[in-house]
Chains A and B, each alone.
Chain A
Amino acid sequence: MSLKLKRTQSHDKVEQQMTPMIDVVFQLLAFFIMTFKIVSPEGDFGIRMPSAKPQESVADVPLPPVKIALKADAAGKLQSITINPGTADARNFGTDMRLLSNWVINYLGSDRGPNSLAKTVEAELACDYRLHYGHTMAAVAAVSGYLDPSTNTPISLFEKVKFSRPQKRPTP
């Protein structure tokens, strides 16, 4: 009663149907290619903001902050960058952020120790309400650090950057 197979039957190939699998695989491939996006890397700048409540630690700050006033025209374009406006040390850099960065580099010097100007003095940005945020961020970057041209590594400048109190919303 043993099952006898014919010689020809025992060598029959069991062919797998590849077409559905390839269909699904190509669908998956198409999906991932369509949804794939090259994303530009993003980074953060830390900002110290004065609290709405009166601060107790103001007396701990030994030196007054370096004020940087950014003025804008009605369209929000940068018109002028002024360091310490209204004082004898006031300096106007026009709209050149590199001049601002160079001034900060000279002001802070090379000392980055715990009691250095870079660690103890704050940079305070006073921006016009309408100023485009891109210019504000360029100023934040200019006072926060710069890229060393030879090594292309970031060198930090002011460690404490803050905004002054916001201006009132302009009437349209």
Chain B
Amino acid sequence: MGIQLRKGEMPSAEMDMTPMIDMVFQLIAFFMMLINFSQAETNKRIELPLSALAIPVEDTDDHNFITLHVDDKNETIVMAADDYSLTTLEGALAKRRSELEKDKLDTKKTRIVIRADRKAQTGLVQEVIGTCQKVGFENFKLRAEQDRKK
């Protein structure tokens, strides 16, 4: 009672690829939506201090800010992917300030976002703030990572 096949005739077992491709495209869309290109702003060398009160900042179109990464191990300050020492930072900040002024942004309102390592010396962070003040910046934001355990 078996199925009899003619000689040379093979049963075609075609897999339906549509659901798999659907799923794969869904996954790609998911990862594309969630990929965070602002990570270019962060620095892997820095472990931020933790705080339960560090409420995430909302993304705005306001570009009137400068992010400084303070790396205590090498005593370097990273601004826009370039490394500076305390002595070279002042000139770089002055240049950045003139760029912001060219863009007609109010540099008195420029936010200096400081991302310092939790084991950095507080005095070094204060020196960085002092250097920014010399250039004329007044508005400082100290960044922390949200501590979800508390």
Contact = CB atoms under 8 A, between A and B. Distances in A.
Interface in A13-37: 18, 21-22, 25-26, 28-29, 32-33, 35-37
B81 interface: no
Nearest to A28: B28
B92 interface: no
Q: How large is the interface on B (under 10, 10 to 19, 20 to 34, 35 or more residues)?
A: 35 or more
A115 interface: no
Contacts, number: 158
Interface in B114-129: 116-127, 129
Interface string B18-57: 0001001101100110111001001000001111111111
Contacts of A35: 35
A43 B54 contact: yes
A36 B35 contact: yes
B83 interface: no
Given A41-B146, A166-B130, A169-B123, A133 B53 contact: no
A43 B130 contact: no
A42 B123 contact: no
Interface in A123-153: 127-138, 140-141, 144-147
B17 interface: yes
B97 to A, nearest CB: 15
B145 interface: yes
A18 B17 contact: yes
Given A22-B17, A42-B56, A154-B55, A49 B121 contact: no
Given A45-B141, A133-B120, 19 more contacts: A21-B21, A40-B148, A43-B51, A43-B53, A47-B129, A51-B133, A51-B138, A76-B121, A128-B122, A133-B116, A133-B121, A135-B122, A136-B49, A137-B51, A137-B142, A137-B144, A138-B49, A147-B53, A147-B150
Interface of B: 17, 21, 24-25, 27-28, 31-32, 34-36, 39, 42, 48-57, 70, 72, 113, 116-127, 129-130, 133-134, 138-146, 148, 150
7 contacts: A18-B17, A42-B56, A44-B57, A49-B138, A76-B119, A127-B122, A129-B122
What are the 9 tightest A-B residue pairs by CB atom distance, in nearest-first order?
A129-B123, A43-B54, A32-B31, A134-B118, A166-B126, A41-B56, A137-B49, A44-B141, A134-B49
